[in-house]
Amino acid sequence: MPDNIDRQFPNPKDLAPLLKFQLPTIHRKQRRLERALDIWDLREIAKRRTPQGPFDYTDGAAETEASLRRARQAFLDLSFVPNILQDVSAVNLSRQTLGRTFGMPVGIAPTGFTRMMQSEGERAGAKAAARFDIPFTLSTLGTTSIEKVVAAAPHGENWFQLYMWKDREASMALVERAKSAGVKNLVLTVDVPVSGARLRDSRNGLTVPPKLSAKTLINAIPRPEWVWNFLTTAPLEFASMSSWNGTVGELLDYMFDPTMTFEDLKWVREQWDGTLTIKGIQNVEDAKRCAKFGVDAIILSNHGGRQLDRAIAPLHLLVDVKRELKGDLEVHLDTGIMHGGDIVAAIALGAQFTYIGRAYLYGLMAGGQEGVERALTILRDQMTRTMKLLGVKTLEELEPKHVKLLATHAGLGKLPQ
């Protein structure tokens, strides 16, 4: 058999460059987060560090959880169509929306009970958002007051999300607090006449704050940092209504008003003089009706799959809504975004802006503010790499031609040329 290898004794000079070892960092959190290469890695870290009840509250969706799976699958069931030989040495991710230019085309969506997932809660999200020059949206069901969120990130863009209560005047009193704190954009959520059936929460017996039952304690013992923070920080409460002393179910019945109609939307528009964004649009007709009420933006969203089971994937609705609205208002999108390429695809198909919820919370549970910043760094790097590989330097260069959706999805409409 012929010998095709010329052998020699190893030369120490040749080995020296190969034997350079990097000393491990003494910062365990930093080391843990650096190992996370995508949002799914952060999710795995979050699952190890968070008790089952809070983790499942974040991770789960309504009933069969089909709405969430399909929203995520919609992003996987597309193909990118790149252009070659383009100068992409510098990529610009900045995006203008609602009269303000942000560093990236993605904001942090409103999430409830956030300090239950990790004790830094909403303040960590607001600070991270400010560092990345993107908006942070505080939920009505947040566990930090709007005043404290603004104080934590005074130079950030802090928005407020409203559930219209049965007590309309109390709702607007809350909005006035947000306005006094400097909020310029109000996000009105409209897809919650009742709470969705979130079966994981029911099976876990989740309450807010979590009850220290035997099951909870056994599950929490391997997660001492979460337990320590839970026991040594202020009790969990709904910061927008700290005097509430009922159960979570009673609270949601109070918060979610099944009598709300477009007349209430008209009333909110008359009361609020800032920009108004409507979250939870899931068909073309409702999108067109919102335009008639002077709304500035709509968010195509199925509430992260947490309301109506088997709801339409927002990405599948995007093209038809953009065509019908003809620029009457901005079209934003959330639900299912777990990769920077998902954001790029949504922008190419016509979204002006996008939002993340779980992706941010996985980072929060994995490492507080630093974990949120890791999540945003991952998404930013993925967006930059995807755009370079597509052959575009700016978001404005992205067009529907850069994305092909699977033809098997009914109701997508014809992509604009």
Closest CA to 298 of 254, 344, 355, 345: 355
Backbone angles phi, psi at 128, to 5 degrees: -65, -45
d(CA 315, CA 74): 7
**Amino acid 256: pLDDT:** 77
Identify the residue with better confidence: 21 or 108. Answer: 108
pLDDT tens sequence across 219-230: 888 999 998 998
What's the rounded mean pLDDT across residues 67-88?
96
- Domains of the chain listed by start with CATH number: 29-405 (3.20.20.70)
d(CA 236, CA 209): 5
**Amino acid 91: pLDDT:** 97
Closest CA to 365 of 267, 229, 238: 229
What's the rounded mean pLDDT across residues 67-78?
96
At how many degrees (to 10) do helices 52-59 and 358-390 cross? 40
**Amino acid 243: pLDDT:** 55
Percent of the chain with pLDDT over 70: 90
Identify the residue with better confidence: 231 or 335. Answer: 335
Annotate 234-302 with DSSP letters as a single string.
Answer: PPP--GGGTT--S-HHHHHHHHS-TT--HHHHHHHHHH--SEEEEEEE-SHHHHHHHHTTT-SEEEE--
Q: Which residues make Cβ contacts (< 8 Å) with residue 125, sequence separation at least 6?
A: 108, 114, 136, 360, 364, 369, 372
**Amino acid 411: pLDDT:** 44
**Amino acid 406: pLDDT:** 80
- The full length of the chain comes to 417
Q: How confident is the model at residue 417 (pLDDT cuts 50, 70, 90)?
A: very low
Identify the residue with better confidence: 369 or 253. Answer: 369
106 pLDDT higher than 90: yes
Q: How confident is the model at residue 254 (pLDDT cuts 50, 70, 90)?
A: low
Whether 303 is catalytic: yes
**Amino acid 311: pLDDT:** 96
**Amino acid 42: pLDDT:** 98
d(CA 349, CA 242): 42
d(CA 243, CA 94): 41
Question: 303, 316, 332, 339: which is the annotated catalytic residue?
Answer: 303
The bridge status of strand 100-102 relative to strand 106-108 is: unpaired
Q: How confident is the model at residue 415 (pLDDT cuts 50, 70, 90)?
A: very low
304 pLDDT higher than 90: yes
Query: Which amino acid is it at 366?
Result: A
**Amino acid 245: pLDDT:** 53
d(CA 54, CA 118): 9
281: tokens are 């649009």
Instruction: Output the average pLDDT for the chain.
Output: 90
Q: Please tell me the pTM assigned to this model.
A: 0.91
pLDDT tens sequence across 78-104: 999 999 999 999 999 999 999 999 999
What's the rounded mean pLDDT across residues 138-160?
95
